[in-house]
Amino acid sequence: MLDENCVFCKIIRGEIPSAKVYEDDVMYVFKDIEPKAKVHLLAVPKDHYKLLSEADGQRLKTLAYMLEKIPAVAKANGCDNGYRLIVNQGDDAGQTVFHLHIHILGGEALPL
């Protein structure tokens, strides 16, 4: 399900432009507009929900599918020497977009 007012749903629908690097039936991957590393991608499920803690049932299956796909997408986009995955959960983590997303950071040695 998509949310009318969600920026990532708008990106998935093509209503807001994005630098897409991968898309299939269940996930969409694009470049972060304010990259925090040489390569900074965002992998989002097409199903809109806010928080990692809301993932259960089919959502967890989709997340597992995304984790299977991400290595090839990362490698194809300059992360052949490793990368970091981050999910920010809620306000204290600094989550700003409340549509579950996985940050993929790499393309260089990342500070710890």
Alpha helix (H) residue ranges in 14-111: 58-76
What whole-number distance in Å separates Cα of residue 77 and Cα of residue 93?
A: 26
Residue 46 near which of ligand AMP, Zn ion, none (CB within 5-8 Å, type-dependent):
none
**Would you count residue 97 as binding ligand AMP (CB under 6 A)?**
yes
**Would you count residue 94 as binding ligand AMP (CB under 6 A)?**
yes
- β-sheet bridge partners, residue 35: none
Between 26 and 51, CB nearer to ligand AMP: 51
What whole-number distance in Å separates Cα of residue 35 and Cα of residue 80?
A: 18
CB of 9 to ligand AMP, least distance (A): 11
Q: Which residues are catalytic?
A: 101
